[in-house]
Amino acid sequence: MLKQTPSHTVVRGAELASVSVIIPNHNYAAYVGSAIRSALDIRWPKVEVIVVDDGSTDNSLDVINEFADEVAIISQANAGQMPSCVNGFRRSSGDVIIFLDSDDALHPDVMTEIASVWSKAASKYQFQMRVIDARGQPTGNVLPQFFSRPASEDIRKWMTTTGAYPTPPGSGNAYPRWFVQRVFGFESDFVDRAPDSYLLAAAPACGHIVTITKPLADYRVHGLNHGAFLQLDDTRFAREIDLTRRRYKFFAEIASTEKLPVAPDALNRNVIFLCLRTASFKLRPDLHPIAQDSSLRVAVDALRAVATPQGFSISQRISLLGWILCVLISPRYFRRALVSLRYVPAQRPKWLRALLGLFRVIR
């Protein structure tokens, strides 16, 4: 359903007809109402809000149906986040597409800011996200914390050489319709449940990345976030490595259609991937998916990675290098504590949470 409101701002992107906000939801009854309201409150002439309930077993549909006169609702059997987003996109008509997680929220000026930097060459607009707690109170953190505004040319170079670039999570991005259509139409098994993994990875190959260095959305941290570590799971790191490899393979396939050369060993220069690789190798070598890996090989790759630009300041890269080396040489008990501090949010002291907020990247 299309909401039309008066527009009082003339901007470069004023020729844009509409924005579609697609909200996939599964059992987030406590938050989905806030997400919907934030989308409806966007100050833009034409806003289309599509909510896809993915087989929720809580009272999510009751909350969503309270907005039945203002939004389009798709109720489906549980299929996962990726099919939910694809189904929502097929129902949409907007020139700009935002996939809003149902526990996050958008700020009212998000489209005005995007329109002010609109470019036909852009495949993605990314903006910072204010971190809030379960009650919606700001924590004081913002992610990502760019040490400088990254140029699109640099982002493309970082992605082709390391498979990484600083980016907000899914709700902190907006895409032109043509780009989403291309990614969703590209032949892939899409084994990752999160569509933003593929959109974030493919964007540097298909166009320019426009970065807006101000918070235009809220990222809610509540302990049950999809993808979050609630406790240390030694077996998960091998799966994360496999997913990261598949995402980069997807990027390489997209890049090849654009005649864009990529480094075949890029992930071995990616400090975030090397953190996963370190944890996997040291905690569960029996499940580690990289054949003939060793502490020496990881250390050598980490030293190369710290010297390779990938969107982090040198101090950030050195900090991650220090963590990798400490895990590699530590006794088993201490190494598990180090891995927990990095990957299990509930076990982090406040100072470490702030530090790790600097390191949100595509991985």
State residue 7's pLDDT score: 40
Q: What is the DSSP letter of 208?
A: E
Confidence tier at 116 by pLDDT (50, 70, 90): very high
State residue 186's pLDDT score: 81
Q: What is the DSSP letter of 14?
A: T
State residue 147's pLDDT score: 76
Are 111 and 127 in contact, with CB atoms under 8 Å apart?
no
* CA proximity to 92, closest of 143, 334, 100: 100
Q: Which of 151-155, 185-189, 352-356 is the most confident on average? A: 151-155
Confidence tier at 361 by pLDDT (50, 70, 90): very low
Residue 300, pLDDT above cutoff 50: yes
pTM, 2 dp: 0.88
Q: How much is the CA Rg of the chain, to the nearest whole Å?
A: 20
Are 13 and 118 in contact, with CB atoms under 8 Å apart?
yes
Are 61 and 82 in contact, with CB atoms under 8 Å apart?
no
Average pLDDT over residues 36-58: 97
State residue 12's pLDDT score: 53
Residue 10, pLDDT above cutoff 50: no
176-180, 221-225, 261-265, 314-318: least confident range: 221-225
* CA proximity to 211, closest of 163, 165, 271: 165
Are 234 and 284 in contact, with CB atoms under 8 Å apart?
yes
- pLDDT digits 0-9 by tens, 190-236: 665 677 888 999 999 999 999 999 999 999 988 665 554 456 788 99
State residue 240's pLDDT score: 92
d(CA 314, CA 113) in angstroms, rounded, equals: 30
d(CA 22, CA 36) in angstroms, rounded, equals: 9
Higher pLDDT, 360 or 306: 306
State residue 146's pLDDT score: 82
State residue 342's pLDDT score: 87
Higher pLDDT, 3 or 262: 262
Are 250 and 191 in contact, with CB atoms under 8 Å apart?
no
Angle between helices 271-283 and 236-257 (to 10 degrees): 150
- pLDDT digits 0-9 by tens, 122-174: 999 999 999 999 999 999 999 998 878 899 999 999 999 999 999 998 999 99
Query: How many residues belong to the chain?
Result: 363
**pLDDT over 70 percentage in the chain:** 86
